[in-house]
């Protein structure tokens, strides 16, 4: 069986390769869209369809809990109109000099947006507010 850490490093390197191929803006857009697409698919495979449609704020709150439960980060908090992701699984695999430019940030934003839309049928749009190794802060509307 393949080590999950090796798969994560391979995924991050693949994403960096996409950035090298199509540039920062293209990679950010493609990876964000991939996250928006894979978020609902992942939740559907894990929990099926929800019996109710949640408000956007409740969907954001539950998304934070699910990201922790699924192991994407040790701590994910909703604070007013921000989401704070701490000790994420991606930071160690991203080269330190690339952390703020890495399209993986946009993949994670898209994943969160996809989770929220799956649960609420309402769209949320995230923007990077503070990006550093081990801590990402996204504002949302």
Domain range for residue 133? 4-140
Q: How many domains does the chain have?
A: 1
Q: Is the distance from CB of 68 to CB of 76 less than 8 angstroms? A: yes
Three-state DSSP at 53 gives: coil
Please report, in tens digits, the pLDDT of each residue of the chain (141 residues total): 778 888 888 988 888 889 999 999 999 999 999 999 999 999 999 888 778 899 999 999 999 999 999 999 999 999 989 999 999 998 888 876 778 888 999 999 999 999 999 999 899 999 999 999 999 999 999
Q: Tell me, what's the pLDDT at 96?
A: 63
What are the structure tokens assigned to 132, written together?
Answer: 């550093």
0.85 exceeded by the pTM?
yes
CATH number reported for the structural domain that contains residue 79 in this entry = 3.30.1380.20
Ramachandran area for residue 87 (φ above 0: left; ψ -120 to 50: alpha; else beta): left
Q: How far apart are CA 74 and CA 77, in angstroms?
A: 10
Q: How far apart are CA 54 and CA 73, in angstroms?
A: 23
Closest by CA to 95, choosing from 17, 1, 2, 26, is 17
């Amino acid at each position: 069986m393949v080590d999950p850490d090796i798969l994560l490093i391979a995924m991050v390197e693949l994403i960096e390769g996409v950035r090298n191929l199509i540039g920062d803006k293209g990679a950010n857009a493609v990876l964000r869209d991939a996250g928006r697409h894979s978020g609902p698919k992942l939740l559907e495979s894990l929990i099926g369809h929800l019996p109710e449609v949640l408000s956007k704020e409740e969907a954001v709150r539950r998304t934070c809990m699910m990201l922790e439960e699924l192991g994407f980060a040790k701590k994910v908090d909703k604070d007013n109109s921000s989401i704070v992701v701490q000790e994420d699984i991606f930071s160690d695999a991203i080269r330190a000099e690339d952390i703020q430019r890495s399209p993986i940030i946009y993949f994670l934003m898209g994943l969160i947006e996809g989770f929220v839309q799956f649960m609420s049928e309402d769209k949320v749009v995230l923007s990077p507010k503070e990006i550093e190794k081990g801590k990402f802060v996204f504002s949302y509307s």
